[in-house]
Amino acid sequence: MSSRLLTPAEAEAAIRQHATQLPTVHLPLFELSGTVLRESIISSRDQPPFDRVTMDGIGFSFAAWQAGRNSFRIAGTQGAGAPPLTLRESSDCIEVMTGAMLPVGCDCVVPVENIEVKDGVAQLRDDAPAPVRNFNVHASGIDSRKGDLLLPSGYRLGPAEVAVIASNGQTHAAVARPPRIVVISTGDELVEPGQPLEPWQISRSNVYGVLASLRQHGYTALSHDHVPDDLPALRARLQTHLQSNDVLILSGGVSMGRFDYVPQVLQELGVRMIFHKVAQRPGKPIWFGVGAGGQTVYALPGNPVSTLVCLTRYVLPGLQAAQGGTAHEVETVNLAQSYDVKASLAVFLPVRLTQTAAGQAAIPQPTGGSGDFTSLIGTHGFVELLPGPRVVLEDQPVALFRW
């Protein structure tokens, strides 16, 4: 790499390029949420596979109603999961349940609230809306046809996608193995929350913010550790973590201080540096590398705002790339008010989203510095502003990255 600092876009591209692809595994349905597909899901049958009733009520011949009939003798009951009944007489109707097959000979369904039943005869209410042919019927194949592509490889699975796979009759799907991730804080000043603090110490918080974000994005194979500013201890613990994890996320120890040992130790352990420092504020000292066994290592600055914005801007896209996930199109939003960019670096500005008459807008919520994590409360993410000095005008579209 040259001495020129990478831009955020160049840094993300380098991470995606060097992301080691995780192996493919076949997981059961209840373990699929949050994973990324490694196969295409093809529809095994029409969906729905039959004309499906969508309301409890009665089914009858629309032509009979058009001919002037508005009362029908109930000739049977069609339940969900039962073979279809057949309407024998146009003067009859069949009681139908939501999810049932539409009985043969019926092409109209009127819901129960629009009928009155007495002595086995269903009478359409005078104040009910006029029936419509095929109303309250979910037609066979209208959602998808057998052989249609339901989900492409590279799609990240959420509740709806898992339900689609299950409805396709599959018990498992081929996905990228969820990454094993360890989150590591460094520094003598950090103490586990709940433990007594000396005046020169602070509670260890970055790790828990990172873990919360990772869980929010569907990652569950997580562990964490804390290492003091001790060179031999750091070397031994990082070597252990490199042997048992796919991804290391470190917080702290990557700048220019005397005790910032992380870059040195990582390279001693065979982790090849891809870049160190990005032309951005906050989070400029970020370090990224790849281990001899393909492990990806993200060494993030220790200030909490820097840690969280670097996690969002770089680590989450890198994890997505390692799973073969399709890159998302960058979301844009208009600034709700002008903002003066004084830095000659890209600026990551926390924002709170609001709805205006013109649509969604981002209200700047600047921090008091990269250590001011309390100012992030209530924010929805941050916008990336190009280097200044310049003024970003109100209503100008900018790239949005959600937490």
Q: What is the pLDDT of residues 175-203, one digit of tens each?
A: 999 999 999 999 888 888 999 988 988 88
pLDDT tens, 285-309? 999 999 999 999 999 999 999 999 9
Distance CA 254, CA 385 (A): 24
Helix, strand, or coil (residue 211): helix
- Please report whether residue 278 resides in a domain: yes
Residues 6+ apart with CB under 8 A from 13: none
The answer to whether position 3 is within a domain reads: no
183: domain range?
A: 8-22+178-322
Low-confidence ranges of the chain (pLDDT < 50): 1
Domain identity same for 216 and 308: yes
User: Where residue 73 sits, what CATH number does that domain have?
Assistant: 2.170.190.11
In this structure, the answer to whether residues 129 and 56 fall within a common structural domain is yes
Q: Based on the domain organization, do 167 and 112 belong to the same domain? A: no
Token code pair at residue 329: 């199109």
**Where among 294, 322, 350 does a domain terminate?**
322
Same domain, 368 and 292: no
Query: Does residue 67 sit within a domain?
Result: yes
Q: Is 303 exposed, middle or buried (0-12, 13-18, 19+ CB in 10 A)?
A: buried
Q: Is residue 69 part of a domain?
A: yes
What was the pLDDT predicted at 202? 82
pLDDT at 282: 96
- pLDDT confidence of residue 258: 72
Contact 324, 351 (CB under 8 A): no
Task: Tell whether 39 and 91 lie within a shared domain.
Answer: no
pLDDT at position 1: 44
The predicted structure's pLDDT at residue 397: 96
Q: Is residue 118 part of a domain?
A: yes
Q: What tokens were used for 326?
A: 């399709």
Is residue 81 one of the residues assigned to a domain? yes
Q: What is the reported pLDDT for 259?
A: 63
Which is it for strands 247-251 and 296-300: parallel, antiparallel or unpaired? parallel
State the sign of the Cα–Cα–Cα–Cα dihedral 104, 106, 111, 113: negative
CA dist 229 and 218 (Å) reads 31
Q: Which of 159, 176, 193 is the last residue of a domain?
A: 176
* pLDDT at site 241: 98
Query: Looking at the DSSP assignment, which residues form a beta bridge with residue 308?
Result: none
Give yes or no: residues 232 and 160 share one domain: no
Q: What are phi and psi of 142, to 5 degrees?
A: -70, -30
Same domain assignment for residues 268 and 190:
yes
Q: What is the pLDDT of residue 190?
A: 87
Indicate if 229 and 272 belong to the same structural domain: yes
- In the chain, the number of structural domains is 4
Is there a single domain that holds both residue 289 and residue 377?
A: no
Q: How many CA atoms lie within 13 A of 44 on its CB side?
A: 8
- Are 300 and 341 in a shared domain? no
Residue 126 belongs to a domain: yes
145: in domain? no
Decide: helix, strand or coil at residue 393.
coil
For 263-286, give the DSSP string.
Answer: HHHHHHTTPEEEEE-BSEES-TT-
My answer on whether 231 and 309 are in the same domain is: yes
